[in-house]
Amino acid sequence: MKKDKTLLPQPVRSDSLSNQLYGILKDAIFAGKFQPGEALRELHVAKTMDVSQATVREALNQLEQAGLVVRTPNRGTTVTCFSRNEVRDRLAMRIALEDLAFCKAAGNLSAEDFQELERLSAAIEQGIRDKSCHDMTLADMRFHRLVWQKADSPVMLRTLDQLTTPLFAFLSVLHGSGLHNLHDAKPHGDLIQALRQAKPGAIRAAIRDHIAGSYREFLDSGTPSLDQLLQKPEGLAAMRKG
């Protein structure tokens, strides 16, 4: 099925064009409007959005920093393909950093923070019931980012943002393509309970179970990259039946 490349009904009009365009393109990638490995051509985007190529270039630089696109000199920009090896490496680093971030944050979370985590957890569940990949992913990212912020480490926060944004996009594309059942998403209640206990061992166990389970099917499928899986989804379907 051909993807709708329409991003907005009207051209972008703002003082911070590149920041707004970055958000639009980021949402489009999360929504699967641009497929892994697909080229993002500066001139085409500039004409479509009625902005300058310099604005597009700045937005693409931000996407590259977020790990959502790959820019190759003299070859252009493509949406990150999410190879199995890259997903595995990012997961290993994410688990290690989230272990640390959640353990550091546990003692800093207020009653209001826990209320917000409960609200976001409920929003994630609502997104699953509504079959809204976008709403679920957005609430999921906000849930984790709130905890990272409470770890009181700007360096760790920036690193986790850069490390995990492509992983959230990866899951969003899987969900949106029907290759991963939304109802298989790990609940966040166990994470909240572990944070309330503030015991490092319980937090680490909850983090590992929560993160690794979401990607296990893809990693075990033998498919080298997400773009190949989207082209030949029968590989994952066969693995499920097996």
**Strands, E assignment, the chain:** 39-40, 69-72, 76-79
Q: Which CATH number covers residue 104?
A: 1.20.120.530
- Domain assignment present for 11: no
Distance CA 104, CA 27 (A): 31
- Domain assignment present for 172: yes
Q: Estimate the crossing angle of helix 200-221 against helix 84-106, to 10 degrees.
A: 170
Widest distance between CA atoms in the chain: 54
Q: Are residues 99 and 167 in the same domain?
A: yes
Say if CB 226 and CB 122 are below 8 A apart: no
- Domain assignment present for 48: yes
Q: Are residues 157 and 227 in the same domain?
A: yes
Q: Are residues 230 and 138 in the same domain?
A: yes
Q: Tell me which amino acid residue 123 is.
A: A
- Domain assignment present for 2: no
Q: Are residues 57 and 145 in the same domain?
A: no
Question: What are the strands of the beta sheet with 39-40, ordered from one edge?
Answer: 39-40, 76-79, 69-72
Distance CA 15, CA 83 (A): 36
Distance CA 124, CA 130 (A): 10
**What's the structural domain count of the chain?**
2
* SS3 category, 69: strand
Q: Are residues 109 and 207 in the same domain?
A: yes
Q: Are residues 133 and 177 in the same domain?
A: yes
- Domain assignment present for 12: no
Q: Are residues 96 and 199 in the same domain?
A: yes
Structure token digits, residue 147: 């905890």
Going residue by residue through the chain, which has 242 residues, state the pLDDT in tens, using 9 for 90 and above: 445 555 555 555 545 888 999 999 998 888 888 888 889 999 999 999 999 999 999 999 999 998 899 988 878 899 988 778 888 888 899 999 999 999 999 999 999 999 999 999 999 999 888 878 778 888 999 999 999 999 999 999 999 998 999 888 888 877 766 655 555 667 799 999 999 999 999 999 999 888 877 777 777 777 776 667 666 555 455 444 44
- Domain assignment present for 188: yes
Domain extent, residue 166, equals: 84-241
Predicted structure pTM score: 0.79
